[in-house]
Structure 1
Amino acid sequence: MKIAFVGKGGSGKTTLSSLFIRHLAAARVPVVAIDADINQHLGPALGLDEDDAAALPSLGAHLPEIKEHLRGSNPLIASADSMIKTTPPGRGSRLLRLRGDNPVYTACARPLAFGPDAGSARLMVTGPFTESDLGVACYHSKVGAVELCLNHLVDGRDEYLVVDMTAGSDSFASGLFTRFDLTFLVAEPTRKGVAVYRQYKEYARDFGVGLVVIGNKVHGEDDLAFLRAEVGDDLLVTVGHSDWVRAMEKGGPPRFEQLEEPNRQALRVMHERADRSYQARDWDRYTQQMAHFHRKNAESWGNARTGADLAAQIDPDFTLSEDLIEAPTALAH
């Protein structure tokens, strides 16, 4: 299961994504978390101190090795240098799993233990904007490694990838927004809070993207009525004030089971809704969307950058599917 958290800056999406990750871990669900926001705050929200979070190895810094690993023996890809963020897998490609180990996790994943009876997770980060990036790079180059990994990921129902996405509608600068089974859009009960929802709803309409709204910072019936009027049936659940979260943000998080029951119930509703989204998964459409965005990127900039026809990397006889999980030649190693 691949889950994204999106929303405007300050909406609380990182806090809610961290709570959802802790909820999954406490339920003993295998979970890999990725911080793909330009502001890298997921690590501290999951209990790392600032220095440890800043020292996490970034996916972007290991992109050449990631490409080389995923390329495998795919005959349609001449070299790792010819791979771009949208390059799809084909016969001979190495595929990633959420369980177990692989060279990507070895290089980039940090194991997190949440304490007795609270489970664990693995965390990866895109890496922050650096001084050398200023004025010469866009943040979408940072999340390219995430899109490439998701393109090569074969995941099942009872395992989760949770991605804290960059704020606003920037996710639509690539095909990454189509890589998820369900997107949780975190919205405050304000006009600005629901503006990103409207953008997502419009952009995602033609791509079958599952989208539900989590109302955050909801403090009364007026807030709830506002959200219901603005987002209608897309409103899944709301979250209010949390003393547990406030304690966590001060650096002294209590045990997770002490999270307030209304907020724990909200997380259970989110888990149930995410689990149901698996039934709508269409591997054929998923594979076709990869090819669609790869052709678009190849034509707009990829062919010129690499000097090759990158559309030729698309394997017309390959469909990513859960059937490949047990195929020994396709598994990451």
Structure 2
Amino acid sequence: MRVAFVGKGGSGKTTLSALFAGQLARSGAPVLAVDGDINQHLSEALDPTAGPTAFGAPPLAAHLGDIKDLLRGTNERITSREAMVKTTPPGRGSRLLRLLGDDELHARHVQRVGDVPLMVTGAFDENDLGVSCYHSKLGAVELYLNHLVDGPGEYLVMDMTAGADAFASGLFTRFDMTFLVAEPTRRGVSVYRQYRDHAREFGIPLAVVGNKVTGEDDLLFLKEEVGDDLLTHLVLSPWVRSAERGSPRGELEEPNRHALRVLRETVDAREQDRPRLHRHAVEFHLRNARAWADEATGQDLAAQVDPDFVPGPVRPS
């Protein structure tokens, strides 16, 4: 199952992504965390004691061409890596991947941080200033999700870019469950209304997770603002504060551990709709083809869509 954490910057979505992924890993479940936020802080959240330089695997964006070559495989509809854009969907001959499978992409880009295997998209750096937007770096992870066939009891947990920027690509449609993290303030719930409308348009399961709740007034505010979409909440956490300082003390509070259990129960209660995921991949590919990609590549990229193809189970390597 693919799980995305979204929300306003500073809402705690990175912390929640790390806590949820860590809970899954400690339970023995196969899990892969993906840092898709421009700030790239998920590694520190997964292991607060390790420091910001502990993660050394190369980012996906640094090897986009190699990733394209791997994923297009023998798909005759994709003539070259240059003709493969970030939205290109798989078809017959494409290389489909298992979560944490025995392949060069996972071998190169995944590194365990604390209890959790992690993969990162790459930070926005000086070479990108005035030249490209951050969403160009997300192309590699969008291709990865398009070609991923995750199995029962497997989890991909992605920390998405903050705020409404998450809508700048079709990536937000590639998840089985989206958790929107909201603080009990007007600014904290502002992103919720935008996400709610897009989620309804595309049939994306969405639930709100209140964060940094200090009392009944905070909880009442969230209930009034988001209604039945409020799934659960976490209280303001001294443990998280100590972890953010690099020296976590004790253990996460029981109300917050309970909230994490609710998140997992919610994810586990869903059934993956693989045809929907692939349908959205094709839809956004066609949108991008018309908007810019046909002109950029000099090709009719609608021809890359393999009719009636839906990614199925991947045979073990």
Alpha-carbon offset, residue 99 of structure 1: 3.7
Alpha-carbon offset, residue 243 of structure 1: 2.2
Q: Equivalent residue for 1:150?
A: 145
Q: Does 1:325 align with 2:278?
A: no
Q: 2:116 aligns with which of 115, 121, 135?
A: 121
| TM-score normalized by the length of structure 1 | 0.92
**In structure 1, distance between residues paired with 2:100 and 2:108:** 16
Q: 2:204 aligns with which of 209, 231, 246?
A: 209
Q: 2:160 aligns with which of 154, 165, 180?
A: 165
**In structure 2, distance between residues paired with 1:302 and 1:184:** 31
Where does 1:191-230 land on structure 2 (aligned, <5 Å)?
191-230=186-225
Q: Partner of 1:325: helix, strand, or coil?
A: coil
State whether residues 175 and 277 of structure 2, in contact with CA within 8 Å, keep that contact through their aligned partners in structure 1: no
State whether residues 43 and 118 of structure 2, in contact with CA within 8 Å, keep that contact through their aligned partners in structure 1: yes
Structure 2 unaligned blocks of 5 or more: none
Alpha-carbon offset, residue 107 of structure 1: 1.5
Q: Equivalent residue for 1:273?
A: 266
Provide the aligned length of Structure 1 versus Structure 2.
315
Q: Equivalent residue for 2:93?
A: 92
Q: Partner of 1:169: helix, strand, or coil?
A: helix
Where does 1:229-268 land on structure 2 (aligned, <5 Å)?
229-254=224-249, 258-268=251-261
State whether residues 30 and 121 of structure 1, in contact with CA within 8 Å, keep that contact through their aligned partners in structure 2: no
**In structure 1, distance between residues paired with 2:281 and 2:229:** 26
Deviates more, 1:175-184 or 1:202-211: 202-211
Q: Equivalent residue for 2:24?
A: 24
**In structure 1, distance between residues paired with 2:32 and 2:263:** 17
Q: Partner of 1:122: helix, strand, or coil?
A: strand
**In structure 2, distance between residues paired with 1:72 and 1:223:** 52
Alpha-carbon offset, residue 275 of structure 1: 1.0
Q: Equivalent residue for 1:309?
A: 300
CA RMSD of aligned residues (A): 1.3
Please list the CA deviations of residues 28-82 of structure 1 after superposition, one character each: whole Å capped at 9, or x if unmatched.
11111111001111011111311224x4411000111111000111111111221
Q: Equivalent residue for 2:5?
A: 5
State whether residues 38 and 161 of structure 2, in contact with CA within 8 Å, keep that contact through their aligned partners in structure 1: yes
Q: Equivalent residue for 1:101?
A: 102
Structure 1 unaligned blocks of 5 or more: 115-119
| TM-score normalized by the length of structure 2 | 0.96
**In structure 2, distance between residues paired with 1:70 and 1:151:** 10
Please list the CA deviations of residues 138-183 of structure 1 after superposition, one character each: whole Å capped at 9, or x if unmatched.
0110111111100001012311000000000112111101100000
Q: Equivalent residue for 1:111?
A: 112
Which of structure 1's runs of 4+ aligned residues deviate more than 3 A? none
In the alignment, residue 11 of structure 1 is paired with which amino acid? S
Identity of aligned residues (%): 59
Alpha-carbon offset, residue 289 of structure 1: 1.4
**In structure 2, distance between residues paired with 1:301 and 1:103:** 30
**In structure 2, distance between residues paired with 1:292 and 1:51:** 38
State whether residues 157 and 275 of structure 1, in contact with CA within 8 Å, keep that contact through their aligned partners in structure 2: no
State whether residues 62 and 107 of structure 1, in contact with CA within 8 Å, keep that contact through their aligned partners in structure 2: no
**In structure 1, distance between residues paired with 2:122 and 2:239:** 28
Q: Equivalent residue for 2:65?
A: 64
Where does 1:169-188 land on structure 2 (aligned, <5 Å)?
169-188=164-183
State whether residues 88 and 314 of structure 1, in contact with CA within 8 Å, keep that contact through their aligned partners in structure 2: yes
Deviates more, 1:234-243 or 1:245-254: 245-254
Alpha-carbon offset, residue 254 of structure 1: 4.8
